Structure 1
């Protein structure tokens, strides 16, 4: 137990025969239950877990005969944790030994003492992150951080791709966790669910660790898939949070801004270039109307963003 709270740790793993033993050995003794999800491994990962289970009754193994994605592994781990009514908090530590076990205490201190519903790690605040994190990951993470802020409503959250998290099981029981994204992008999906339920979320500084692990993310597939997901989450949050659960006029400003941009600004922009190409000079009237309407659209969306940020800040 940690501060009289029972802790479970979900460990998703796929073909981690080299690093999984280090991960399991590093999990602190105060953890009450370890749930390992073998996501269709073809190496010795299942056998390694079985060997650990012989010496510890804390460990439970859930096997996927075929790979189902990281999101599905976490869903199964979360559901298994919820089945144990004595568990108070559920953490996630990847099986590639990329999450320092000492940082689990930092996450637990934050969520328990501050009475949060969900807390996640933030590697971007470390002064040496530029040296430890590969540049392409750092750039992609920074861009996705900005997009995720809009999609989830947690504008103060950074490093949304960090999977080192702890969730209170009472909050976990409130959200439709079985509907969470099965593949990559689950991070933003669960944050969006928590925002809709009005849960208190924050992140804490943890250390970035990069060593022998190999990223399973394929950027060509990952970037468009996650971008499309974030757009869907944005509109889902607006609908469920500000229309279904609690009406807020910010949706009108968002709607007005989007309408002007897609149905007025873009057609005017097309007309501008058609006339410019035909007559060889900029059509002044079209240009004036275009700038005027674009300003209205931009200001409307800025005002909606400000209202959205203020609303979520007050709820926290």
Structure 2
């Protein structure tokens, strides 16, 4: 708890058995709630999560990274979290930064905090493939131009959110796939939330999850589409529920039967 605010860490997981314990062991005692949502893994991720004392939910099918996050945030809000930090359980990002990120939200200055691999210049040193680094920089420059903000990167999977942001953004209108992350940032900009960044080292190794070149290209196309749809909606050319205050929100009843607690 920081400044009287309850902190939840949520972990969207798929086949994370080999790295989950390292991730959980590094979580600060300041964390009040630990939640893992297993997207129907083929290994023992869910069983290990439960053994580690984490509140564990299991999808009845492999629905995808985006919908996994929807469950994570719904359960965190239901558990009374004021601040929610998403940590990938593949140990690519250090959980030691959770208190710092949560503190930036608890200060009231920021509504969303992104742990940037680009700030500090550690991405390539940490093993990020060169083509991913180039994609990251190009897509970030493109989005900064059209979204009218200035972030060092949009593509990190280590993020913190205020409760107000999660209750406001219509994230149930977003993709079930990896571009979900990027759509959330575009929504946060559309709704006027304040976004901060913190430098974060990263580690690329065999057990850490990472999408291949083909999926990276698909993600990049999705980022371009997200950006252009943001611009078109803001200009009134099209209307998208994703950027509408009346769009479906995570606190509404939706997909309520596809995750079970173990």
* CA apart distance, 1:97: 1.3
| Counterpart residue number, 1:293 | none
Structure 1 contact 93–164 (Cα < 8 Å) conserved: yes
Q: Give the deviation of 1:222 after TM superposition.
A: 3.0
Do structure 1's residue 60 and structure 2's residue 23 form an aligned pair? no
| Aligned equivalent of 1:133 | 127
Contact 1:196–1:240 (CA under 8 A) maintained in structure 2? no
Question: 5+ unaligned residues in a row in structure 1: which ranges?
Answer: 54-58, 245-316
State the 1:112 CA deviation.
2.5
Secondary structure at the aligned position of 2:23 is classed as helix
Report the counterpart of residue 36 of structure 1 in structure 2: 36
Which one scores higher on RCO, CA 8 angstroms, separation ≥ 6? 2
Task: Give the aligned partner of residue 154 of structure 2.
Answer: 160
Match of 2:119, SS state, is coil
Of residues 131, 134, 137 in structure 2, which corresponds to 1:142? Answer: 137
Measured after TM superposition, the shift of residue 150 of structure 1 is: 4.2
Structure with more of its chain in helix, by fraction: 1
- Bigger radius of gyration: 1
TM-score relative to the length of structure 1? 0.69
Per-residue CA deviations over 1:271-309 (Å, capped at 9, x if unaligned) read xxxxxxxxxxxxxxxxxxxxxxxxxxxxxxxxxxxxxxx
Q: Is the 8 A contact 2:2 2:103 kept in 1?
A: no
Residues 33 and 105 (structure 1), Cα distance of their counterparts in 2 relative to 1, 3 Å cut: same
Consecutive aligned runs of 4 or more in structure 1 exceeding 4 Å deviation: none
| Aligned-partner Cα distance in 2 for 1:7–1:242 | 37
Partner of 1:286: none
1:219 aligned residue? 213
Question: What does residue 180 of structure 1 align with?
Answer: 174
Match of 1:74 in 2: 69
1:172 CA displacement: 1.0
CA distance in 2, matches of 1:203, 1:197: 18
Alignment map for 1:275-294 (pairs within 5 Å): none
Does residue 1:229 correspond to 2:222, yes or no?
yes
- Name the structure 2 match of 1:307: none
Question: Helix, strand or coil: the match of 2:52?
Answer: helix
Gaps of 5+ in 2: 238-262
Question: Is 1:89 aligned with 2:89?
Answer: no
Aligned counterparts of 1:180 and 1:21: Cα–Cα separation in 2: 30
Alignment-derived partner of residue 191 in structure 1 = 185
